[in-house]
């Protein structure tokens, strides 16, 4: 199953060592089981998005390790892919960039013909073959329609998807240079958040399945919001997001929670409804 990771240390820029490839339980080892790509997104000091991604397993990619070690940003987004839709190409690897924002998704949304028709000319935003990038394009269009309000754009887009498209899962993270949004919908896959308070210890997180491992000395004395597909350490303050809950971390790290999708999807899919490769991607790596 694909893994999501998001981090906001706003308003502070931090250097972070993502996915320590030398660790015994690192992404390098575990990517043998999630072999279809890995990606890291963050922002330069001037707000320019930076994306490093490759449609190969992280353990095969030395450049990925170098990029992950050097990244510095206020917000980060990361994704490890087990492909369900779209070939093993760079254009189908998360995260995606549109209008200076970065996005990653875990789950399956079907009915792409209907979504393409609904997007109309905004389908030009889509460069690859995935359902994820099409979902992002709809969010981008709706954000534009709401005057740049990303929260309103996400809400409008996912409500339309929930009402009109067959859906198995739609967990997502979206980041700008200063903000982070995360959605869990419905209750198919887990998505956790941690409001991390300043401590005397470095930020060190390792997912229970080992797919994402994060270390930062800069955040030892600063608060942060961490979003992950699984609790990444023994901190008792990890909380499971509610189905339909949208979390927003603002530029001053004010965190708000809104239940934007209180009801299940109109066309809820089960594993048995999915194509074999899509079903395999949703089960892979689950213990």
User: Tell me: the pLDDT tens digits for 16-73?
Assistant: 665 433 333 334 443 444 445 678 899 999 999 999 876 544 444 444 445 455 678 9
Give me the sheet containing 17-18, strands edge to edge: 17-18, 213-216, 203-206
What is the distance between the alpha carbons of residues 284 and 282, in angstroms, rounded to a whole number? Answer: 6
Mean per-residue pLDDT of the chain? 82
Query: Can you give the pTM of this predicted structure?
Result: 0.86
User: Using an 8 Å Cβ cutoff, are 74 and 9 in contact?
Assistant: yes
Give the tens place of pLDDT for each residue, 170-190.
Answer: 999 999 999 999 999 999 999
What is the average per-residue pLDDT within 263-284?
Answer: 82
CB neighbour class for 188 (10 Å; exposed up to 12, middle 13-18, buried from 19): buried
Q: Return the sign of the alpha-carbon dihedral for residues 137, 185, 268, 277.
A: positive
Which residues fall within 8 angstroms of residue 195, CB to CB, at 6 or more apart?
223, 225, 237, 255
* Predicted confidence band of residue 286 (pLDDT cuts 50, 70, 90): very low
Which pLDDT band, with edges at 50, 70 and 90, does 153 fall under?
Answer: very high
């Amino acid at each position: 199953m694909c893994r999501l990771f998001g981090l906001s240390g706003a308003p502070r820029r931090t250097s972070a060592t993502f996915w320590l490839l030398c660790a015994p339980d690192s992404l390098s080892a575990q990517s043998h089981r999630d072999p279809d790509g890995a990606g890291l997104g963050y922002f330069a000091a001037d707000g320019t998005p930076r994306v490093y991604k490759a449609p190969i397993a992280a353990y095969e990619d030395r450049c990925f390790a170098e990029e992950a070690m050097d990244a510095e940003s206020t917000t980060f987004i990361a994704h490890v892919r087990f492909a369900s839709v779209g070939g093993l190409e760079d254009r189908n690897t998360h995260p995606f960039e549109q209008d200076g924002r970065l996005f990653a998704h875990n789950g399956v949304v079907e009915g792409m013909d209907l979504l393409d028709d609904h997007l109309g000319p905004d389908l030009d935003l889509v460069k690859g073959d995935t359902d994820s990038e099409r979902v992002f394009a709809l969010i981008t269009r709706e954000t534009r329609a709401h005057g740049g309000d990303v929260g309103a754009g996400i809400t409008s887009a996912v409500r339309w998807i929930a009402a009109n498209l067959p859906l198995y899962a739609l967990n997502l993270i979206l980041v700008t240079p200063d903000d982070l949004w995360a959605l869990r919908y419905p209750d198919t896959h887990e998505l956790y958040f941690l409001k991390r308070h300043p401590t005397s210890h470095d930020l060190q997180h390792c997912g229970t399945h080992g797919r994402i491992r994060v270390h930062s000395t800069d955040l030892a004395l600063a608060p942060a919001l961490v979003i992950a597909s699984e609790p990444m350490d023994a901190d008792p303050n990890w909380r499971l997001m509610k189905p339909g809950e949208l979390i927003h971390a603002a530029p001053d790290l004010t965190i708000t929670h809104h239940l934007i999708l209180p009801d299940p999807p109109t066309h809820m899919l089960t594993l048995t409804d999915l194509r074999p490769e899509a079903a395999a991607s949703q089960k892979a790596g689950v213990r």
